[in-house]
């Protein structure tokens, strides 16, 4: 089969590799669509260095089952499916308490974050454990289905962890792909005023097109938000990444504000006034990754027509054009880039 093999940083090679064959508890999937995550781009460019070579990255796939292992009963050849990047064991204390994304025995296809990382989905076929496979409803496109993982992460952060309520005034800092999905979840959940903050005019326009009530430049964010929400926001979601976005989230708090540190992944420090934080009685959450519950809820949102994550796709490329796709990932005016093998 054809695959994009990462031989070293900045050395992505299209080549024929052996077809995967399933172990008894595995499923092989013919990939129909796979989104490019920022972490994939960082691995290819050497910005993220926890990569073992050679490697096939890509962890946002959907496709059709082509083969199943001998003990797999719930899936068969021809089933349309969605793959969660992490396949938890289901048996450890973390899995048994619902924290599957903390599973120490999990495998990860095409991503990072745990020790056992296996080949991902910038390829014609991928195999994974059956615990990571979900049935795709017929009314969801393969492209939208490939965005289940980031949509489920947005649901997990905004709804499960930060417990957004109907009517909440919500601020989303950074409205690239994941920020837009957080914003779309907040809108679907009944946000009152929904404010997008971004330094990019392109991103701000996307946010308004997808339901933000306001979109403002990060340069004057605090002043402008006070005009819109004089009392301050109920929930602030940092979905940008830079430490300055975390500091902005901190500075937007008022008494009772919930804030979710969702976007930053680098180990940088910021300061908190202890007494002020005490008397504000706010709540800081953070959220990373997804779990089976958040995946199933994301599928439910799409199946019922509540959210269409396909609306954030800006570029589409075949697997043979993956080098063009990586170039586009480095450009400012792009959103979700999709590979269609």
Q: What does the pLDDT average to over 111-138?
A: 94
Give the integer Cα–Cα distance in Å for 194 and 77: 43
Q: What is the pLDDT of residues 299-318, one digit of tens each?
A: 999 999 999 999 999 999 99
Q: What are phi and psi of 88, to 5 degrees?
A: -75, 160
Secondary structure class of 256 (helix, strand, coil): coil
Res 115 pLDDT > 90? no
Question: How much of the chain, in percent, has pLDDT values that exceed 90?
Answer: 94
Residue 21: Cβ-neighbour burial (10 angstroms; 0-12, 13-18, 19+): exposed
Chain segment 143-198, per-residue pLDDT in tens: 999 999 999 999 999 999 999 999 999 999 999 999 999 999 999 999 999 999 99
Angle between the N-to-C axes of helices 292-303 and 148-155, in degrees from 0 to 180, rounded to the nearest 10: 110
Domains of the chain, CATH where assigned:
2-150+290-339 (3.90.180.10), 163-286 (3.40.50.720)
CA dist 185 and 305 (Å) reads 12
The pLDDT-based confidence of 67 (bands split at 50, 70, 90) is: very high
Residue 277, pLDDT score: 93
Q: Which DSSP string corresponds to 114-154?
A: SS-EE--SSBSEEEEEGGGEEEPPTTS-HHHHTTHHHHHHH
């Amino acid at each position: 089969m054809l695959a994009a093999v990462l031989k070293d940083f900045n050395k992505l090679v299209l080549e024929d590799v052996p077809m995967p064959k399933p172990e008894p508890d595995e499923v092989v999937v013919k990939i129909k669509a796979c989104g490019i995550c920022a972490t994939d781009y960082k691995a290819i460019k050497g910005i993220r260095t926890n990569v073992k070579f050679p490697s096939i990255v890509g962890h946002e796939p959907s496709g059709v089952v082509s083969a199943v292992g001998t003990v797999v009963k719930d899936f068969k050849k021809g089933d349309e499916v969605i793959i969660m990047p992490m396949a938890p064991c289901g048996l450890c204390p973390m899995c048994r308490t619902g924290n599957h994304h903390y599973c120490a025995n999990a495998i990860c296809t095409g991503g990072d974050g745990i020790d056992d990382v296996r080949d991902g989905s910038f390829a014609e076929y991928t195999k994974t454990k059956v615990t990571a496979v979900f049935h795709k409803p017929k009314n969801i496109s393969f492209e939208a289905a490939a965005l289940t993982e980031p949509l489920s992460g947005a649901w997990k952060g905004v709804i499960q962890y930060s417990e957004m309520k109907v009517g909440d005034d919500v601020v989303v800092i950074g409205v690239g792909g994941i920020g837009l999905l957080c914003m779309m979840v907040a809108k679907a959940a009944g946000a009152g005023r929904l404010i997008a903050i971004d330094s990019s005019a392109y991103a701000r326009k996307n946010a308004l097109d997808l339901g933000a009530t306001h979109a403002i430049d990060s340069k004057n964010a605090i002043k402008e938000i006070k005009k819109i929400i004089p009392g301050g926001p109920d929930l602030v979601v940092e979905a940008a990444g830079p430490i300055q976005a975390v500091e902005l989230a901190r500075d937007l708090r008022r008494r009772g504000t919930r804030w979710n540190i969702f976007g930053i992944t680098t180990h940088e420090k910021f300061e908190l006034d202890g007494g002020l934080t005490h008397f504000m009685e706010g709540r800081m959450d953070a959220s990373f990754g997804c779990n089976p519950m958040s995946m199933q809820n994301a599928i439910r949102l799409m199946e019922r027509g509540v959210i269409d994550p396909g609306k954030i796709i800006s570029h589409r490329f075949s697997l043979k054009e993956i080098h063009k796709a990586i170039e586009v990932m480095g450009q400012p005016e792009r959103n979700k880039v999709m590979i269609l093998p």
